[in-house]
Amino acid sequence: MQYYSTSEKSPDATLSQAIVHCVAPDGGLYMPRTWPVVPKAFFNNIDQLSLLDIAYVVANQLLGDDVDGAVLKTIVADSMNFRIPLVRLSDNIFALELFHGPTLSFKDVGTRFLARLYRHLASSSSGRHINVLVATTGNSGSAIASAFKGLEGVDVFILYPRGRLSRMQEAQFATIGENTHPIEVRGSIDDCNRLVDTALLDSELNAMFHLTSANSLNLGRVLPQIVYFFEACARLKAAGIEPSETDFAMPCGNLSNVTAAAMARRMGAPIGSIIGACTPGIFADMAGDGVSGPPLGPTGSSPANMPRLLALYGGDADALRREVHAEVFTTQAQEDAVREVYSALGYVAEPRSASAVSALLRRSRPGRHGVALINTHPAKALDRMTAITGRAIELPLQFTRFMARTVVKDKIDPTLPALRKILLRHNQQ
Ligand SMILES: *Cc1c(COP(=O)(O)O)cnc(C)c1O
């Protein structure tokens, strides 16, 4: 398979180049040249297949030309070694719980797959040392630290804004050590993102340190997320429900799940509408029912996967709107959604995932079913959840273990020289 850049100013890349370099030299994101379509017969008995069977079929369609089947099987088995249950909340509403992995968010699925694909691609090519940079407000940092921990030939630098994370969020990635290096940045998440983007496109820094990223800019993080849409189809079919009469709602930020859902459709997953529960901003204005109002916080920046999502519809926003809809939730509306979902369905979901369920309730029509993606365990948003519900959320065991350990971190201003110094220190040993 060849991979093109969404900016269309760089030559096509191989799988290995697309994954290892993450961002194309022209600043675009990599996309497969063609979309393989899963054979129709696959759906005849999909309800009898396991998550791993389904994951292997999807992964093999996408990556089978470039990665040996036996290797791919191992990567799939090692990265999706936890449950992704489809929980029935009412006659027509289901929750696809994506938070049963080691760091309790959907990001475990893509990140664990990426780390293992990475190890395979790197060991079969140059074997050179690689430095992974990521900017995070919590969930991607912990998923990446957990997935890349101890991986030979890779160091991981996790940049996060000072004062934005709870002690517990920080502890989840800043107490791991080994090849994972937390960096607290005196600035906002936008400053962190800018610093990572600048570093990734800086040719001198790249020549020295072979930089890459492991967030959803990396295609290898997004492709595995296609799997759970097929998995949901299987479990719906087992419950006697037509996936094509089922809409899929999901929280969104950088649109990795909305994009993966659209990719799943291109590969033949017979799913209904894709509903993005989002905050006001660029995606809401494009796919919502009107202008959504001022974006929350200082960011007016475009979601990272927007170029991929648009590319799936040939750059045609009208075509996109026929399949993808935005439902807008302010911070206040997210909190209302937590209470609404609990009182209507007896289900405890964190604010962004609750918004996805609430989006289904808003749009519910007779005869139509809905699946909401539950992105993280409610305890991941512990402070907000306690404030909203006035009740204690039970802490999963993973969390209490992290809290007992010591945080070790660097602290820097958001400048390239400051980051360079830290990279240098960890690459000299
Ligand atoms: C990472 C994250 C998101 C953003 O997801 P995308 O699929 O990239 O839009 C949304 N909600 C939660 C809870 C997350 O951790």
**Is any atom of ligand 1 closer than 6 Å to the C-beta of 251?**
yes
- Domain that includes residue 422, residue range: 129-209+404-427
Same domain, 326 and 195: no
Residue holding tokens 């630290």? 145
Best residue among 139, 225, 283, 380 to mutate for probing ligand 1, ranked by most atoms within 8 Å of CB? 139
Same domain, 291 and 357: yes
**Is any atom of ligand 1 closer than 6 Å to the C-beta of 136?**
no
75 in a structural domain: no
Same domain, 250 and 380: yes
194 in a structural domain: yes
Q: How much is the pLDDT for 279? A: 94
Pairing between β-strand 3-5 and β-strand 30-32 as defined by DSSP bridges = antiparallel
232 in a structural domain: yes
Question: Would you say 195 and 135 are in contact if contact means Cβ atoms under 8 Å apart?
Answer: yes
CA-to-CA distance for 271 and 273, rounded, in angstroms? 7
Same domain, 191 and 303: no
CA-to-CA distance for 142 and 15, rounded, in angstroms? 26
Q: How much is the pLDDT for 21? A: 87
Residue-by-residue pLDDT tens, the chain, 429 positions: 999 999 999 999 999 999 988 889 898 999 999 999 999 999 999 999 999 999 999 999 999 999 999 999 999 999 999 999 999 999 999 999 999 999 999 999 999 999 999 988 876 656 678 899 999 998 999 999 999 999 888 999 999 999 999 888 899 999 999 999 999 999 999 999 999 989 988 989 988 998 999 999 999 999 999 999 999 999 999 999 999 999 999 999 999 999 999 999 999 999 999 999 999 999 999 999 877 777 665 456 789 999 999 999 999 999 999 999 999 999 999 999 999 999 999 999 999 999 999 999 999 888 899 999 999 999 988 888 988 988 888 888 877 888 888 999 999 999 999 999 999 999 885
Q: How much is the pLDDT for 151? A: 87
**Is any atom of ligand 1 closer than 6 Å to the C-beta of 370?**
no
**Is any atom of ligand 1 closer than 6 Å to the C-beta of 252?**
yes
How close is the Cα of 257 to the center of ligand 1, in Å?
8
Please list, in sequence order, all residues whose beta carbon lies within 8 angstroms of the beta carbon of residue 401, skipping any fewer than 6 positions away.
none
We report the CATH number of the domain holding residue 241 as: 3.40.50.1100
Which residue(s) pair with 184 in the sheet? 160, 411
Same domain, 311 and 371: yes
Same domain, 251 and 373: yes
Same domain, 242 and 204: no
**Is any atom of ligand 1 closer than 6 Å to the C-beta of 255?**
yes
**Is any atom of ligand 1 closer than 6 Å to the C-beta of 375?**
yes
How close is the Cα of 251 to the center of ligand 1, in Å?
6
Alpha carbon 360 to chain centroid, angstroms: 21
How close is the Cα of 422 to the center of ligand 1, in Å?
28
Report the domain count for the chain: 2
Residue holding tokens 């040392």? 129
The CB density around residue 183, as the number of other CB atoms within 10 Å, is: 20
Q: How many helices (H) and strands (E) does the chain have?
A: 19, 13
CA-to-CA distance for 372 and 347, rounded, in angstroms? 12
Which of 216, 150, 138, 207 is CA-nearest to residue 177?
150
Q: How much is the pLDDT for 33? A: 97
321 in a structural domain: yes
The single-letter DSSP state of residue 115 is: H
CA-to-CA distance for 315 and 308, rounded, in angstroms? 9
* Residue environment code for 343-374, b if the CB has 16+ CB neighbours within 10 A, otherwise e: eebebbbbbbbbbbbbbbbeeeeeeebbbbbb
Which residue(s) pair with 96 in the sheet? 86, 373
291 in a structural domain: yes
Same domain, 202 and 264: no
Q: How much is the pLDDT for 124? A: 61
Rg (CA), the chain: 21
CA-to-CA distance for 148 and 358, rounded, in angstroms? 34
Q: How much is the pLDDT for 180? A: 95
Same domain, 346 and 286: yes
**Is any atom of ligand 1 closer than 6 Å to the C-beta of 213?**
no
